[in-house]
Structure 1
Amino acid sequence: MKLGLHLAQQTWPNGPAALGSDLARVARTADEAGFEYLSVMDHFFQISGYGPPEHEMLEAWTTLGFLAAHTERVKLLTLVTGVIYRHPGLLAKAATTLDVLSGGRAILGIGAGWNEEESRALGFRFPPMKERFEQLEDALRYVHQMWAEGDEPFTGTHVSAERLLNSPPPIQRPHPPIMIGGSGEKKTLRFVAQYGDICNLLPNADLPRKLEVLKQHCEDVGRDYSEITKTASLRLDTGENGEKTGQLLDELGRLSELGFSVATGWAHGVPDPAVLERFATEVIPAAEKL
């Protein structure tokens, strides 16, 4: 079992003026500790569960470029980009740029988007759910084509383009992995089977059922189910002094038995360096044995 560190909060004790140096230190420490993934939200306001909307929230893809410069091995991604926030051409170019400049460590995390509050607040159009999923499929088809050989035109339901030229191409071949976030059985998991490389499910979902649904979608589209990396989002809480480490490892073991190979989430206490040191010495070595 591998772990991913999700930087869900950026309201840290030293304030915005020190956020760059604090982020750089956390990223380097997470990289050296052995985390497999390092992710950020793609939101403009903080979301409930982590704090009020007024708390700090950095723009995701700019932040990933910064994190790439301060790490060497960890994979970098959004968890996950809302498709309504960027034209797929810009998104494909941003992910390609991150992959090139990080030496092949980018993952494209993407979903249909859900945060109507921040969208309307900043003037982004927030389409009905049906259209958001149409846009998601457009974007998935678009990035696959843009990352393939050639530069032919593209025609989707909501997006058309005359020439999908992408120079330089990404380092990872045939393309950077695509993580599709969400657990919707009719659309999202079908898109994972058809277009994705990684799924990301929430632990409060009926995980055995969701995996069975994904397996059936893979059979329906002729996809090898074993090719898809199964990840779950999880609060990585070891307690104030490590008293919850055993409980966390038990939960990781349960996920491993279900077929998940990665758990990614916010580590309670970050940016305290002692928290990440505990993961480096106690949690990550034990998780790797699961």
Structure 2
Amino acid sequence: MRLGLQVPNFTWPNGQNELGTTFGQIAERADAVGLYSFWVMDHFFQIGFVGPAENEMLEGWSALAFAAGRTKRIKLGTMVTGVTYRYPGILVKTATTLDVLSQGRAYLGIGAAWNEEEHLGLGVPFPPLKERFERLEETLQIAHQMWAGDQRPFEGKHNQLTRPLNSPQSVQKPHPPILIGGTGEKKTLRMIAQYGDACNFFARMGDEALKHKLNVLREHCANLNRPYEQIEKTTLDQMVLTKDGRDGTLSPQAAIDQFGKLAELGIDHAIFSLGNVHEPETFEILANDIVPVVDKIQVAGR
């Protein structure tokens, strides 16, 4: 089973002046302890689930480029880019640049976008949900076309590209894996089956809800003649790790048990954020007590 770290919060005790240093150290430690992936949100304001909008928020793709320069092997992705934030051709170019400069370590995480506050605040158009899903599908089509090296004009309802040139091409072949965020059963899960390489669900949905979503995804794959096994199943969670599980935190064994249950459901890749991610001890726990064990957990159906 694979483990990934998401960093959604950049408000740390040592303050904004040390933000770059702390973020770089977190990326380096995640790489050193053997985590498979490293993720940041693609938001411009902090989201209410994490903190007030005024809290520090780094732009996602430049943060990942910075992390790429501080790491050697860990995969890098956005969890997830809102389709409204960038023109599709520019987004594919951005993801390709990260893949090239990191020597093949990029994910393209993408979704239909939802945070109206930051759109309005920064002057980004926020179309209705139906249009956002239309734009998401066109962006996925454009990504596949550009990564295939097909320079024919793209004529969509919302996007027109006269020459979708992408040079240099991505290091990963046929392209960086596309993770599509969201759990909608009619549109999102169908798009994952048709265009995606990975899905992402909230781990705290519970076993029965996760099983149901995976079954719906399986049905979409069958309808599209897409092998279900080709889709990487990922979850997102949050936790605080301590050696002894004090004060409601998770002990190493409790975390391992959680990851094991996800693997039994068929989850390949458990991604989590850590409330104490800025503390070096957290990575010592991951390195010594968790990652070596979880690496050996077999995923059901694999």
What range describes the TM-score normalised by the shorter chain of this pair?
over 0.9
State the alpha-carbon separation in 2 of the partners of residues 241 and 59 from structure 1: 35
Preserved CA contact (<8 Å) 2:78 2:108: yes
Structure 2 residues without counterparts, runs of 5 or longer? 298-302
| 3-state SS in 2 of match to 1:9 | coil
| 3-state SS in 2 of match to 1:234 | strand
State the alpha-carbon separation in 2 of the partners of residues 204 and 131 from structure 1: 29
| 3-state SS in 2 of match to 1:53 | coil
Instruction: Letter of the 2:220 partner, please give it.
Output: H
State the alpha-carbon separation in 2 of the partners of residues 36 and 203 from structure 1: 18
1:288 is the counterpart of 2:288: no
State the alpha-carbon separation in 2 of the partners of residues 236 and 135 from structure 1: 34
* 1:127-276 equivalences in 2 (<5 Å): 127-205=127-205, 206-239=209-242, 241-243=244-246, 244-245=250-251, 246-276=253-283
State the alpha-carbon separation in 2 of the partners of residues 24 and 233 from structure 1: 22
State the alpha-carbon separation in 1 of the partners of residues 115 and 143 from structure 2: 23
Preserved CA contact (<8 Å) 1:3 1:37: yes
What residue is the counterpart of 1:116 in the other structure? 116
| 3-state SS in 2 of match to 1:51 | coil
Deviation of 1:241 (Å): 4.6
| CA root-mean-square deviation | 1.1
Deviation of 1:284 (Å): 1.0
Deviation of 1:248 (Å): 1.9
Preserved CA contact (<8 Å) 2:138 2:156: yes
Deviation of 1:33 (Å): 0.5
Preserved CA contact (<8 Å) 1:239 1:268: no
| 3-state SS in 2 of match to 1:138 | helix
Deviation of 1:49 (Å): 2.2
What residue is the counterpart of 2:53 in the other structure? 53
State the alpha-carbon separation in 2 of the partners of residues 157 and 241 from structure 1: 56
TM-score, normalization: structure 2?
A: 0.94
What fraction of aligned residue pairs are identical, expressed as a percent? 50
TM-score, normalization: structure 1?
A: 0.97
Preserved CA contact (<8 Å) 2:232 2:268: yes
1:252-285 deviations in whole A, cap 9, x for unaligned?
A: 1111000001111211201111111111111111
Deviation of 1:190 (Å): 0.4
Of 210-219 and 152-161, deviating more is: 152-161
Of 156-165 and 237-246, deviating more is: 237-246
Instruction: Letter of the 1:70 partner, please give it.
Output: R
Deviation of 1:240 (Å): 7.1
What residue is the counterpart of 1:34 in the other structure? 34
| 3-state SS in 2 of match to 1:263 | strand
1:15-74 deviations in whole A, cap 9, x for unaligned?
A: 121111111111111101011110000001111221111110000011110000000000
State the alpha-carbon separation in 2 of the partners of residues 127 and 143 from structure 1: 21
1:102-127 deviations in whole A, cap 9, x for unaligned?
A: 00000000000011111111111111
Preserved CA contact (<8 Å) 1:137 1:191: yes
1:95 is the counterpart of 2:121: no
What residue is the counterpart of 1:106 in the other structure? 106
| 3-state SS in 2 of match to 1:39 | strand
Preserved CA contact (<8 Å) 1:242 1:278: no
1:75 is the counterpart of 2:75: yes
What residue is the counterpart of 1:43 in the other structure? 43
| 3-state SS in 2 of match to 1:109 | strand
Preserved CA contact (<8 Å) 1:240 1:269: no
| 3-state SS in 2 of match to 1:235 | strand
Preserved CA contact (<8 Å) 1:237 1:248: no
Structure 1 residues without counterparts, runs of 5 or longer? none
Deviation of 1:250 (Å): 1.6
State the alpha-carbon separation in 2 of the partners of residues 58 and 81 from structure 1: 13
Preserved CA contact (<8 Å) 2:112 2:132: yes
Instruction: Letter of the 2:233 partner, please give it.
Output: K
Q: How many residues are treated as equivalent by the alignment?
A: 290
